Structure 1
Amino acid sequence: MVLKKQTVWLLTMLSLIVVLSAYYLMTPGQTTVDVAFVEDQEVSEGQQETGDSEDVVVNVVEEFETVDEAGEDIGTEVNSMSGSEFFATMRMELQENRDRMAEEYTKVRAASDVPADKVVEAHEKSMELLALSQQESMLETLIKTKGFNDVLVMSEGQEVKVIVQAEELTGAQTVEIMDMVTDQLGNGKSVVVSHE
């Protein structure tokens, strides 16, 4: 019964993704978008207080790449997307990747010939994936309260990518976002903050 509910839920979500994809592909007015990455670096207390942005290095790139756990590139070309389309596309790709992983974990848990320790491991990974999605969502909401129109948080292993919708991103804003990520997701992760 649980498997059928999960299947229905998955098919519903995939249908929603297809409809949204069609909508965004048919929406006129696509413009060019550049994504800038701020490199992760040590920031002294004095820089945090003054908001000194001279030491923050910004590199403009033409392609934003993400890699799933299997090492497959799920990147997307951002040159021909408007800001809202970029965020919607990246969210859909991230959700599709997470849905694929959740489905694999569900298959392992449902299989009768799988050892018990593998079933437990698949269940734990499934719960970690759910918790990670909730943490990312909460972090996006917290960052939006700082005045950004849209925010996307993607955590892949030990790296967290945060993309905010803004014309500019100051050094003080970057440090504040990095601190928020550390508070929510813990220390020891490499944080990349960029704006679109």
Structure 2
Amino acid sequence: MKANKRTVWFLTLLSLVAVISIFYLKREAPMMSLDGMAIFGDNDAVTVSSPVEGEADTKPVYADSMQLEELRMQVQNERSDLKEQLRIKLSSADMTAEEKSAAYDEMDELIKRDSAEAMMEIQIRNLGYPDAFVRKDSGKVTVTVVSQDGGHSTKMAAEITQYVMTSWEDARTVQVDFME
């Protein structure tokens, strides 16, 4: 019974700390106004207009990271289908031990590749790029990077290529694409 009382007290204290923290964060944070922003049904674009009436100057703002998210989702769907096929092989009674071992090794390799690509995306973002998408297939690495203000150069591509080649020893070719 003492453990239950301790748990209740702990959860009560934790809830109190959370409520007080949210109160102070909300109190100190300025309220952001969304006046002048119109969001259309299209998720890829947001139109920002001037709050002053009479000005008809509106500019579309496109989210390049949405395109990268679509690529990520496509790769994730492909790989989850492959993982499901491998799970079916692993649970099948008709498969031999060698075939199950090969399926397990392939699944393990897929998980390692997923995590390595995610880590490389984070590392490329840490180099100063807003967003990146990395895909590795049998020694070929494709890197898609969102460039800032449309500025990209061979020097930037060489920097990313060098970084990828030094990070992955089995990367034979690296292709760097810039999105504006």
Structure number with higher helix proportion: 2
Q: Is the shorter-chain TM-score for this pair beyond 0.5, marking a shared fold?
A: yes
**Is contact 1:168-1:195 (8 Å) kept?**
no
Q: Which has the higher contact order (CA 8 A, sep 6+)?
A: 1
Superposed CA offset, 1:112-159 (max 9, x none): 110111100000010000001111111111110111110000112221
**Is contact 1:139-1:180 (8 Å) kept?**
no
Q: What is the SS of the residue equivalent to 2:130?
A: coil
**Is contact 1:135-1:184 (8 Å) kept?**
no
Q: What is the SS of the residue equivalent to 2:143?
A: strand
Unaligned runs of 5+ in 2: 1-40, 48-61
User: What is the aligned counterpart of 1:170 among 153, 160, 174?
Assistant: 153
Equivalent in the alignment of 2:69? 88
Runs of 4+ in 1 over 3 A off after TM superposition: none
**Is contact 1:135-1:185 (8 Å) kept?**
no
User: Over aligned residues, Cα RMSD in angstroms?
Assistant: 2.0
Higher CA-based Rg:
2
Equivalent in the alignment of 1:29? 45
CA pair 94-30 structure 1, distance change in 2 beyond 3 A: farther
Aligned pairs for 1:1-196 (under 5 A) are: 26-27=42-43, 29=45, 82-166=63-147, 167-196=150-179
Deviates more, 1:95-104 or 1:169-178: 169-178
CA pair 188-136 structure 1, distance change in 2 beyond 3 A: closer
* CA distance in structure 2 between the partners assigned to 1:153 and 1:28 by the alignment: 21
The alpha carbon displacement at 1:169 in A equals: 2.1
TM normalised by structure 1 equals 0.58
Identity among equivalent positions (%) equals 22
Q: Give the number of aligned pairs.
A: 123
**Is contact 2:86-2:103 (8 Å) kept?**
yes
Unaligned runs of 5+ in 1: 1-24, 32-80
